[in-house]
Structure 1
Amino acid sequence: MPFLFSISGYHNAGKTTLALSLYEILKNRGYKIAVVKSSKEKDIFTDIPEKDTWLYRKKGVPLVGFFQENLFTLYLNPENFDLSSFKDWYVYFQSLFWNFNIVILEGFKNFDIVQKIWVVKEKDEDLKRIKSEIRNLLGFVVKDDLERWESLYPEEKFFLFKDYETLANFIEELIRKYEPRVLLKINNKKIPMKSFVEDALIYPLLGFIKVLKEVPDKIEEIEIKIKLNKKLDKEEI
């Protein structure tokens, strides 16, 4: 299950520049990273009216994928999700990108359930108002005058915009703290587990797998899917 966090801020604050820099650093540290950008555009489509993907979407297919030689485009229909709490989006992102370590969301300032880094655009930006409007803020990224910002808001965490390594270290600490090691889905429903249950699944399974032929010496990730021949009640398990 990936760690999701958002880089939020006003238009032209530098969100994309920051996201790209963090992507390069964290990728070089071995993380698999996906990026999802939000947009307010309503009239611009990436597929052409009356063509195949457009027809599928018009028919109401909730998820349409389009494979090309060097590109895969995914279209989601927001009508199939409860956007009032954004919980459906959160669960969907985790399921869709479960084999990634990190999903960087650019924008999504109203996506309350996701933790955010706010990129400060102006020197006189009212951070108290932002704090009152934006939920789940981890801290602020400022372009300069770091000490001034820290003195004005001593209770907040600040990062300097071009000190990408420090912010990447902060995100890496969060990943290590929150990232679960096992994804368990039963009938397409994600089942939460405590760490001792994860251990009970991981270590016996590793013991069986390591004696199999053609298993690499270094095991980084295991994917198993089991389909039962009949439906089992809890009493039968």
Structure 2
Amino acid sequence: MSMKPRVVQLVGYSDSGKTTLLSRLIPLLQRQGLRVGVVKHDGGHDFELDQPGKDTWRYREAGASLVAISSQTKTAFIEQQPLPLEQIVARMGQAGADLVLVEGFKREHYPKLVLIRKPQDRELLAAVTNVVAIVTWDEWEHGGLPVFHVDDAQAIASFVQKGE
């Protein structure tokens, strides 16, 4: 029986440090015994996971709706349709994730850490829902939310782990 994983989103404008911060948080959270899944939102681009000419690419080009490749160390699925974030999270839970960190998907309802790199980025706080903390490049205070410096990955990981 699968458990429903906890979900935390990291949202921010382009070049706000989302990917770098996630790359720092993942090993810290894994060391705490959490099995961490990550979802990256591609924001309207048509990403290409396969390499042209490779077998899985050829299968997709031939019209397969779902292609999987598996080795002794990993498995990847490529599905030829967009899925709602909720379904992706559920699948990660079925695969054993305790925590799913989501980069992007600003309009979803999960708890969010908002990355603020420049003062004008603060407008994002009013544009998204369910903000639980702010991650910033500059020192500033917010009346109602915890504020973390982007370089304090340990404190951010502790906050995420506690699920506050």
Q: Please classify the TM superposition score into its range, dividing by the shorter chain length.
A: 0.7 to 0.9
Alignment RMSD (CA, Å): 2.5
Q: Is 1:15 the equivalent of 2:12?
A: no
Higher percent of residues as helix: 1
CA shift in 2, pair 1:90/1:119, >3 Å: same
Greater Cα offset, 95-104 or 7-16? 95-104
Structure 2: gaps spanning 5 or more residues: none
Identity of aligned residues (%): 26
Instruction: Looking at secondary structure, tell me which structure has more strand per residue.
Output: 2
Could you tell me the TM-score, scaled by structure 1's length?
0.58
Change (3 A) 1:24 1:144: same
Q: Is the 8 A contact 1:117 1:138 kept in 2?
A: yes
The alpha carbon displacement at 1:126 in A equals 4.3
1:130 aligns with 2:130: no
- The unaligned stretches of length 5 or more in structure 1 are 82-87, 178-237
2:114·2:125 contact (CA, 8 Å) conserved in 1? Answer: no
Distance 1:135 1:172, change over 3 A: same
TM-score (norm 2): 0.79
Structure 2 counterpart SS, 1:78: coil
Distance in 2 (CA, whole Å) between partners of 1:141 and 1:14 is 10
Q: In the superposition, relative to structure 1, how do residues 53 and 15 fare at CA in structure 2: closer, same or farther (>3 Å)?
A: same
Say if 1:104 and 1:52 are closer, same or farther in 2 by CA, change over 3 A.
Answer: same
Displacement of 1:158 after TM fit?
Answer: 0.9
Q: Deviations over 1:154-178 (max 9, x none)?
A: 123211212222211211111xx7x
**CA shift for structure 1 position 48:** 4.2
